Structure 1
């Protein structure tokens, strides 16, 4: 493993305490056998019918990725509107504020009670089965930028857990070609299991960039809808910014 040249280094680490809401950028993450610690513990729902947020499916949800999230040191969820104060969630006050922002009766709800000690309200069903790790390279972002120069291929459009800074590979989204290979990221060992097929979430505006259908259009045309890869975990570990990434 040590004989392999480094592919690059970790430049961004993310977790997403609440599905579809903005992620939390960290200096280190703990990767377990099934997911990142603190990832996707809560969902946002339309309180009138329990529908869970799907920004890729309808305009009523398009402002959801603007809502910031973080976990406190004691693993309590907090949310904030753009420019607003942090509020504890789930909580009637944060639900009131989010409802006013979205224009309908909305509520943050945990997937399991252990995610929100003391919470006695309704739960929500997980929107999808979580994959352990989503990895993206800056080389793929550079390839998308070359195909779509007027666009902003910000990593936040794609919601990775790990972003690897590496040199561009001309004409290639390189990690899509690594399927089945193993990656060592510091002490973490991953197997690249499948490409990440993109949806309409990627075109939606977030803080710092606008709505852009060209993002998805170019991925459909040039990389079969894909950017980034899903990985399974062979050896769990803590990962920090700057960790070297190698084939194992």
Structure 2
């Protein structure tokens, strides 16, 4: 036993704020409802790149969730939830961003009946991303002024475990297998970090030293990507164990 699942997340719209879950349904391709939509510049179709362009830095401030019916809803800061994608949601997002943008599904199954153009994910996502509180504690020890909020790193599963002095422990588990709840995973690769980790979100400020610390001390990495060996459900509080 190494700990327990203390937070579960899915991200219905890429780069938007995530949706915390009590239970995560995991298939071979990852968590149900994860990364179904993407934001693009309307004129060019280019996807949002908060990690590379400052004009996209507001995107993580917009929250995304799936309704009980499985349809997307978004909420701008201080505003109510609205259905998306739609003409109204695109207009609201464009006003918030300061230039014309559009929210588009990655595939036809994400938004049945959607008549507009689709878009492509800008990267091939790993099925599941696991992060430990021990690695967040290590980051804090190396950069005491940091706010190592899990939302900076967008895990699917945050595993609570005791700190391991001098180590980002899951980075050392590459090739091993882990069970969390009903789900069994193979830890396939470290999660190499980009400038998304330094962007301000609700509750914490811009912090470039976050990424510099990871570059200097863990080869750009924090957290791990996993492939799914046995699908199933993970519930908050489920035990995590190395196999």
What does the per-residue CA deviation read over 1:215-235, in whole Å, with 9 as the maximum and x for residues that have no partner? 000000000000000001100
Give the deviation of 1:181 after TM superposition: 0.6
Q: Is 2:37 the counterpart of 1:42?
A: yes
The aligned counterpart of 2:185 is: 190
CA distance in 2, matches of 1:167, 1:95: 44
The aligned counterpart of 1:122 is: 117
CA distance in 1, matches of 2:77, 2:33: 22
In the TM superposition, what are the counterparts of 1:25-104 in structure 2 within 5 Å?
Answer: 25-104=20-99
In the TM superposition, what are the counterparts of 1:209-228 in structure 2 within 5 Å?
Answer: 209-228=204-223
CA distance in 2, matches of 1:107, 1:86: 17
SS in 1 for 2:31: coil
TM-score (norm. length: structure 2): 0.99
Aligned residue among 163, 166, 170 for 1:175: 170
CA distance in 1, matches of 2:179, 2:56: 37
CA distance in 2, matches of 1:185, 1:230: 14
Q: Is 2:234 the counterpart of 1:239?
A: yes
Q: Is 2:157 the counterpart of 1:162?
A: yes
CA distance in 2, matches of 1:88, 1:159: 23
Matched residue pairs, number? 243
Checking the alignment, whether the CA contact within 8 Å between 1:35 and 1:130 is kept in structure 2 is no
What does the per-residue CA deviation read over 1:142-182, in whole Å, with 9 as the maximum and x for residues that have no partner? 00001111110100000100000000000000000001111
Aligned CA RMSD, in angstroms, stands at 0.6
In structure 2, list runs of 5 or more residues that go unmatched. Answer: none
SS in 2 for 1:30: strand
Checking the alignment, whether the CA contact within 8 Å between 1:196 and 1:230 is kept in structure 2 is yes
Q: Is 2:37 the counterpart of 1:14?
A: no
The aligned counterpart of 1:206 is: 201
In structure 1, list runs of 5 or more residues that go unmatched. Answer: 1-5
The aligned counterpart of 1:106 is: 101
Give the deviation of 1:125 after TM superposition: 1.1
SS in 2 for 1:123: coil
CA distance in 1, matches of 2:39, 2:181: 34
The aligned counterpart of 1:137 is: 132
SS in 1 for 2:30: coil
TM-score (norm. length: structure 1): 0.97
4+ residue runs over 4 A deviation: none
